Amino acid sequence: MLNKRGHIGTTLMVLGALVLVIAALYSFAIFSDKTGEEKEKLKDFISEFSFEQKYVSIVFEDMVKEAIDEVKPEEDFMISFNSSLKKIAERRRNPERKTNLFAKIINEPLNLTLLEDNYVLVLDAVFVKFEEDKSVIERKFNFEIIFNETGIISQSL
């Protein structure tokens, strides 16, 4: 007669493989993929930082336009522009915004020079910082804006 004990080992091996396959399928089924959620958070974080960066640029340009408009024709343009820009920066300062734009305008002497008929205003090392939880993004850049007594000619970051 043939020895039938070898079939017990083979049967146990098949059952063991079946248990492992079922355990693997079960782990795949209950695994929750949260990478999509994290990707959305990261996308929102970068989007909000991009907004902050554009906000600073637009606000600076708007403050310069407003300061140009406030200067009276009979006054010295540079002196009047400087004081007007500082007052506007004080009025628009928002402590929720993490930027040093307003502090640089208010506290530091402005780098305003006259080239031919145009004025050049340069702000160095302006930063925008955005924090959320443990993530932080900070970017520094320099503003240069060229204008005359009637309006802005060009602006660059």
d(CA 55, CA 148): 23
In DSSP terms, 155 is beta-bridged to: 145
Query: What tokens appear for 26 in the block?
Result: 């079960």
Reported confidence tier of residue 51, pLDDT bands at 50, 70, 90: confident
For the chain, percent of residues with pLDDT exceeding 70:
93
109-149 pLDDT tens trace: 888 888 888 899 999 888 888 887 777 888 888 889 998 88
Predicted model pTM: 0.71
Give alpha helix (H) positions in the chain. 6-30, 35-70, 77-92, 101-107
Query: Residue 72's pLDDT is what?
Result: 81
Could you tell me the CA-to-CA distances from 4 to 14, 17, 124 in Å, in that order?
A: 16, 21, 88
102-112 pLDDT tens trace: 889 999 888 88
Reported confidence tier of residue 87, pLDDT bands at 50, 70, 90: very high
Backbone phi and psi for residue 10, each to the nearest 5 degrees, phi listed first: -65, -40
Query: Residue 24's pLDDT is what?
Result: 93
Query: Residue 3's pLDDT is what?
Result: 61
Query: What tokens appear for 55 in the block?
Result: 């906000």
Query: Residue 19's pLDDT is what?
Result: 95
d(CA 155, CA 56): 13
Reported confidence tier of residue 4, pLDDT bands at 50, 70, 90: low
d(CA 27, CA 64): 61
**N-to-C CA span, the chain:** 93
Query: Residue 75's pLDDT is what?
Result: 78
